[in-house]
Amino acid sequence: MTSPDRPGAPTASDRTDVLAAGSEVGDWVVTRLIGSGGWSTVYAARPADAAAGSSGPAEVALKVMPTAGLAPRQARRIMESARREVDLGSRVGHPRLIGLRESFVLTAPDRPALDGAIVLVMERAVGSLRELIDAGVPEADRGPLIAGICEGLAHLHGSGWVHADLKPENVLLGEDRSVKLSDFGLATELTGTHGYVPPMGTLDYLPPERWRAPLGELGVRVRPSADIWALGIVIHEVFSAGGSPFSGATPVARGAAVQEYAQGRAPLRMDHTVPPFWRALAADCLAPNHAARAPHTAESLLARIAAHQDATGAGTGAGSGRRRGRARTAVLATALCGVAAAALCSDAARGGSSGPPVRVGAPAGTVRVFNAERSCRERADRAAGCSLGLAVDPLRAYTADNVVPTRVWHDDVLAADCELPDGQPIIDEEARWSTRWFRVRLPAGSAPPTAWLPAVRTKDRPALPRCPRPTAAR
């Protein structure tokens, strides 16, 4: 567990700004919750005048980004993220990019947590590539889907922008299987050959140079080749049922494998299920450094895919809308059924996407420890390697010198007497973020008698009083 690149981002379960169905937000009426994460909550909505029987536009997605109660730096980060999305959405329209209809600031004096929230009104989609990968991508759809991603990236890069957070969650799908790239909160406009982004992103999709990139006054330098690297990972996932070409039980471990490969100490090992053409394409995308990756632009990759499709007689695009048989269409519809994935942001949590079924929570006033590493959850013994540390001080970096001697394991139940909502921001192995901490009591005779458990280490959210803020200096 390490401190996140995104200071201050709470987890979805910490949110208090959920809007009920029927709530009016500007000219829209919320129909249901789609998903939520550290920075935003996404809702499906219909036009307010549709209730009167008028023929308004189709249902949209509302991305609500609250700013109330945040520290100035946190609020600035959210506003900057929203500005990027609005800027790109208003200037770089394309059928392969999710459409932005409007943006406004919400006035809700009766809901302090929502008052002043930034709202982005976005085009709806019926699913995301992540859900489709989890369900199983039909073989005939794989090539056209990758082609659609390349189309979106080619336009984005040609317009002078880098996405900077390409991943299956941010590839949305229309009813006709058309691809639409989404979540431009980290997108950056190039200044010459580089753009600059905050030191954040999804670990499994960062190119080798991002793991070592220095943080300057403007942020971390990024180039279009970073998106190409992420595309290589996505190609491998699409053809290997979600598998990564880099081994490791956690994103950090897989990042170490990326570094071994980039430094020439390990070969690139791809799953045998990836066909030869796509294996070669992914390998070019995953060239170990920018110089080797730069010739493989989204446009050139798209041309190679088109030539391959022409030679093999495969479909020519992700948005052609062609039907290839009722049975396969039914497979796709089933995979996307009930998935209201529209403009889901990089920080959105995918409920139920990993791990075993959620257990019944611990009794009131207690928290049950949760270990994000599946291998540790499946062990019956209390192996030292699967133990978790509790912090001495929730305001200090969560490192070895800030951990009490008493260790805990998955499924341990700890008495909790209060919570601190704005402690040291933490990210776990599954990239869940939170600044929330619980003060827990340790067994009799422990020294110290209490310690702090980060909220990402439990699925329980008991109603507890707020802890007095500890003194950071020790």
**pLDDT, tens digit (0-9, with 9 covering 90-100), for 403-460:** 899 999 999 999 999 999 888 877 666 556 678 899 999 988 888 999 999 998 998 8
Per-residue pLDDT for 251 more than 50? yes
Of 202, 205, 209, 204, which Cα lies nearest the Cα of 185?
Answer: 202
Residues comprising the chain, all counted = 474
Element holding 307 (H helix, E strand): helix 298-312
Q: Please, which residues bridge with residue 389 across strands?
A: 407
Structural class in CATH, domain 127-336? mainly alpha
Of 402, 395, 412, 397, which Cα lies nearest the Cα of 468?
Answer: 395
Out of 91-105, 154-168, 232-246, 307-321, least confident range: 307-321
Per-residue pLDDT for 18 more than 50? yes
In which residue are the tokens 């317009």 written?
159
Amino acid at 239: F
Quickly count: other Cβ atoms within 10 Å of residue 49's Cβ. Answer: 13
Quickly count: other Cβ atoms within 10 Å of residue 394's Cβ. Answer: 27
333-361 pLDDT per residue, tens: 333 433 333 333 333 333 333 333 333 34
C-alpha 422/C-alpha 71 separation (Å) is 10
Give one DSSP letter per residue of 323-344, joined into a string: ---HHHHHHHHHHHTT---SS-
Give me the pLDDT at residue 70, please: 66
CATH superfamily, domain at 12-123: Phosphorylase Kinase; domain 1 (3.30.200.20)
Percent of the chain with pLDDT over 90: 35
Contact 164, 176 (CB under 8 A): no
Q: Please, which residues bridge with residue 137 across strands?
A: none
Task: Give the range with max mean pLDDT: 149-153, 189-193, 336-340.
Answer: 149-153
The DSSP symbol for 401 reads G
Q: What is the chain's percent helix, strand, coil content, to nearest 5?
A: 30, 20, 50
C-alpha 271/C-alpha 256 separation (Å) is 19
Q: What is the pTM of this model?
A: 0.62
Amino acid at 356: P
Contact 155, 183 (CB under 8 A): no
Per-residue pLDDT for 8 more than 50? no
Fold: same for 12-123 and 127-336: no
**180 assigned ligand-binding residue:** no
Q: Give the domain ranges of the chain.
A: 12-123, 127-336, 366-457
- For range 464-469, the mean pLDDT: 91
- Ramachandran angles phi, psi of 292, nearest 5°: -75, -25
- For range 271-285, the mean pLDDT: 95
